[in-house]
Structure 1
């Protein structure tokens, strides 16, 4: 029966097997080892609910923008964030762009919600539902039936999808393969489970793109499947599970080249290495952002503790407000009184001499770094364990 399958002649790379080239195996494992460590770091990082919610919104917007941008959506990350928050509705001529984003956001939120209730069961029907969600309320070509396998031979660029009559069989094999790659992991070390989840996620992404089972939305569906598998592992924080979409979008031409090389030249390892390096790079950026938030929270706590020891006067309260209103970097001295509405109200009716006295007081307390033109909070005081920065104020000489 297998010999009758048309795809064996047209798509011989659909083997549902993989071999990691020996000469890059150690390099790939090293990248995945770092990715695992970074994910563990993020998982164990305490954040206030407000900061966690803010970061969740940031990476939801990044993920939705990235996976739609790869398919040609032109909305900016800021526009996507405003759409997600409900603060923006695009005009009719661009409404389809908003709909594309909203469809992806709904799917990503469902993956997140499922992860809190036992994870997502990856079945053929589930994959079909995700494709239907991706195309919901969008105009499509006549041959496209959202959530149903194509019955028409598809060509994307120079790539031809798998023979339509083989698609149901191939999708059944894909789902079974995903289960094998991720099954029985509870008894294995966390590192092995992480490696298995990453391989299952990226390989299923690759195979779904190769099979091209739907009339439209295959790329978005493949990247959502990748995100769901990573989230299901329980070892990748949800805010990190769609970082790969951002990587693919940032390196779009390389993404398509790696997909092409994997099918034309059998370079599956090249795609895995490309994805692993991008995942590591994105995780590093994410941790840096989380650390900046943590640093800011520590700074706020330190300021309140420091001011608790000072006289409880109107001037002291104003100086504390000023200090906490300063952004991390240098602020021009002439902009200080207008940093926030609260600060503007406290300085209302007061002379520039009052502002100068408050600035000098913060400097004398060692809580601000001041030169002739700018003021910056002394957040470097929080960096006790960062080599070379424990007691060194920022250098603003430009």
Structure 2
């Protein structure tokens, strides 16, 4: 599993240095995508385009809560802080680094608990997982950071990043923001070792949470490890395609969205068909107007082409949905 990732990483290293404008393009895209997906996993309802509006334009979105706006801005700021640490080796990661990331995540949302270990017991809603007693958190975190230092030169970087992610959410040292902090720590370790950040998509949410819980309840961690490895693999592919001039993700422009009628006209599908496919989750809604009209990003035109092609192969819509999810999962 990790050997294949090392090979792709070597290929990417051979493409470096990449043109500055390409690097900026990739960083801008990953900034919005990482912010959108990490917050969406935690229940934030901002769409990808709305996240771009908040992060890139500093605007507010009608109908969305103040906390959702703060979560987007905070995550983007925390990611920028993480980037200032990537020139350091993983062996130098400290508790203060983790606390600083968490402080930025909860800034102005829960200031008393931002950047501080929890001082009370917590439970994960809907889960049977029993979390460590809060009086043990300080000791567990000191041991956790020491283990990162010990294993930095022993484990494959992706294995180290995956373990750090899992271990931090299992210790659950904070009152809130554990998942977002863990994903940023994972990506810090990846980027320190020359890998692009891993994106866990909104479509992967259930698989991600179930794989974590499976391991936390005493089962195998294999499913979680494979999910993270697949996410890293997908990010490597994005960078490699861009470096080779094959394809580069375009920074999300929240102002270039299509109304359902426009999407229907451009795709050759009826409006009721577009609406039905959207209700089944085959198409992603980018945003909504103040009057409640649905808006789509232009990449949904390609999604429609995929749906049509699969229908032509006599797959049912349910089967198409599963195929699209598996494709997103890498």
**Superposition TM-score, scaled by structure 1 size:** 0.56
**Aligned-partner Cα distance in 2 for 1:118–1:178:** 11
Q: Tell me, yes or no, if structure 1 residue 153 matches structure 2 residue 121.
A: yes
Q: CA offset at residue 36 of structure 1?
A: 1.7
Q: Tell me, yes or no, if structure 1 residue 254 matches structure 2 residue 214.
A: no
Unaligned runs of 5+ in 1: 1-30, 186-192, 296-331, 333-398
Matching residue of 1:173: 143
Unaligned runs of 5+ in 2: 249-265, 267-330
Q: Tell me, yes or no, if structure 1 residue 33 matches structure 2 residue 3.
A: yes
Q: 1:80 aligns with which of 51, 68, 72?
A: 51
**Aligned-partner Cα distance in 2 for 1:121–1:90:** 39
Q: Tell me, yes or no, if structure 1 residue 272 matches structure 2 residue 225.
A: yes
Q: CA offset at residue 267 of structure 1?
A: 0.9
Going from structure 1 to structure 2, the CA distance change for 1:119 and 1:259 (only over 3 Å counts) comes to closer
Q: Tell me, yes or no, if structure 1 residue 53 matches structure 2 residue 21.
A: no
**Aligned-partner Cα distance in 2 for 1:265–1:199:** 19
Deviates more, 1:34-43 or 1:219-228: 34-43
Going from structure 1 to structure 2, the CA distance change for 1:293 and 1:106 (only over 3 Å counts) comes to farther
**Superposition TM-score, scaled by structure 2 size:** 0.67
- Residue 164 of structure 2 contacts residue 185 of structure 2 at CA under 8 Å; is this kept in 1? yes
Greater RCO structure (CA 8 Å; 6+ sep): 2
Matching residue of 1:342: none
Number of matched pairs = 246
Q: CA offset at residue 232 of structure 1?
A: 1.9
- Residue 111 of structure 1 contacts residue 120 of structure 1 at CA under 8 Å; is this kept in 2? no
Residues 262-301 of structure 1 aligned to structure 2 (within 5 Å): 262-292=215-245
Q: 1:95 aligns with which of 61, 66, 69?
A: 66
- Residue 64 of structure 1 contacts residue 80 of structure 1 at CA under 8 Å; is this kept in 2? yes
SS of the equivalent of 2:118 reads coil
Going from structure 1 to structure 2, the CA distance change for 1:126 and 1:35 (only over 3 Å counts) comes to same
Deviates more, 1:211-220 or 1:266-275: 266-275
Q: CA offset at residue 172 of structure 1?
A: 0.7
**Aligned-partner Cα distance in 2 for 1:87–1:145:** 25
Deviations 1:261-307 (A, max 9, x none): 11113312332123213322342244334444579xxxxxxxxxxxx
Q: Tell me, yes or no, if structure 1 residue 137 matches structure 2 residue 97.
A: no
Q: CA offset at residue 249 of structure 1?
A: 3.3
**Aligned-partner Cα distance in 2 for 1:86–1:293:** 29
Aligned-pair RMSD on alpha carbons?
A: 2.6
Deviations 1:238-264 (A, max 9, x none): xx22x2xx2253311110111011111
- Residue 247 of structure 1 contacts residue 282 of structure 1 at CA under 8 Å; is this kept in 2? no
Q: CA offset at residue 93 of structure 1?
A: 4.7
Deviations 1:300-332 (A, max 9, x none): xxxxxxxxxxxxxxxxxxxxxxxxxxxxxxxx9
**Aligned-partner Cα distance in 1 for 2:247–2:62:** 39
Matching residue of 1:213: 173
SS of the equivalent of 1:198 reads helix
SS of the equivalent of 1:115 reads coil
**Aligned-partner Cα distance in 2 for 1:217–1:33:** 32
The structure that has the greater radius of gyration is 1
- Residue 258 of structure 1 contacts residue 271 of structure 1 at CA under 8 Å; is this kept in 2? yes
Deviations 1:195-230 (A, max 9, x none): 522122111111111111110101011111111111
Going from structure 1 to structure 2, the CA distance change for 1:251 and 1:93 (only over 3 Å counts) comes to closer
- Residue 120 of structure 1 contacts residue 228 of structure 1 at CA under 8 Å; is this kept in 2? no
**Aligned-partner Cα distance in 1 for 2:88–2:22:** 23
